[in-house]
Structure 1
Amino acid sequence: MRDEGGHRLREVPAEGAPAVRAEVRPDTEGGWNIHLTVERFRFTPESVGGAAIPGRGHARLLVDGKETDRLYGPWRHVPPGARSVTVRLHADDHTVWAVGGKPVEATVPLGTTPPTATARTTPAPTTPTPSTPTPTTPAPAPGRTVEIAVTGTSVQPPPSRIELKRGEQLTLRVTADRADTLHVHGYDRELTLTPGEPGTLTFTADRTGLFEVETHGSELLLTQLVVR
């Protein structure tokens, strides 16, 4: 049997089977923060694509019934407009853990009007005295550059979390040995990867939450962005 996304179900006995619960919290800057609690299961991004080992793997996020993200940790941000989210547990080989022919998952309905971004006011600048020059706006910080190399199913450096401040600029410089597409989830930014040629993607991390960077073709997790 397979789920609606075509992933094969991997049946396990009910006793000792993994379990997942999802808690939804409104985000003050818009959308929702999803928090997962798993039992008899742990996230193993370092072995994705390998053999299915009971109690290990990752999760897939379905928003309004459509798969949108792969999860390797307990937190995920969902933009405004969604009506429901489903979190489904997968093995490292991408099969779906199932009990009694049904996927191990949790579905949570969302409210119809999530909170919108909070308006922020900037204090009016003081009028400079004749002897004081008018202050100029400082140039933005140069930001951070992260270099990643993809060879087959190997990612170097190994996938980890990059801590960023909201508004910080990030440049991803990725070199792959095969044609693929890099995707930054949550920001909807993509980069076409040409074999052997470094590709560069620069953007401003202006949304808070946990976001994954992965390849579409090979489905490899490259890194995770934690924006606070």
Structure 2
Amino acid sequence: MKRFIAGVGVVSCGAVVVALAAAAPASADPAPTLPSAFVTEVVDGDSVRVVDVTRGAITVRIAGADAPELNECYGPQSRDFTRSALERQLVAVIVDPSLGGADASGELPAYIVRVDGWNHNVEATRAGAARASGEVSRSAEIRDAENGARQVGAGLWSANCGTPAQQPRPQAAPQPSGVYYENCDDARARGAAPVLRGQPGYRAGLDRDNDGVGCEPTR
């Protein structure tokens, strides 16, 4: 194992992988779980770095699920969950047939399955460490796992991670238009009254009740 961790050679890596696969228990996951990679580092809740027998050193992102960013609610806890489940583990990296290769960021979207059949994509979602995202061949199973997490308020679905209310966007201040009315008498004399907010010449001084209509007709 030490030789594999140190990355001395692909031959040593493959020998360890095959030996452990032969001793692995029956998989709880229907996909093949012949281990082909060793997890060297957990980047965040949904991305890990591995040394793969055929692909070499790559970054794998879990397909069909998305974890919070580290600066978002439950982001650090999601990373810790993934660390406890995958770090320094032998895993199978299974590319979904509905997806292509590495994405624009260089990450390979795939299922990450341990030798005991633990499918991290599904189980991280079930624990509330990730949410269902996109359409993949196992989306139905991942969504079912998310629904279970929602029902019990697990992880990112807890009350502590409620969706923040959207803040209203500040209204842009009107830009100078080059038109200026000294007062409403001036605006009326020039045939411009009423002056609506957004029109040339409108300013707060002409709209005392701040209803967006300046120099309203007198009653």
TM-score by length of 2: 0.21
If each structure's strand is expressed as a fraction of its own residues, which one has the higher value? 1
Q: Which has the higher contact order (CA 8 A, sep 6+)?
A: 1
TM-score by length of 1: 0.20
If each structure's helix is expressed as a fraction of its own residues, which one has the higher value? 2
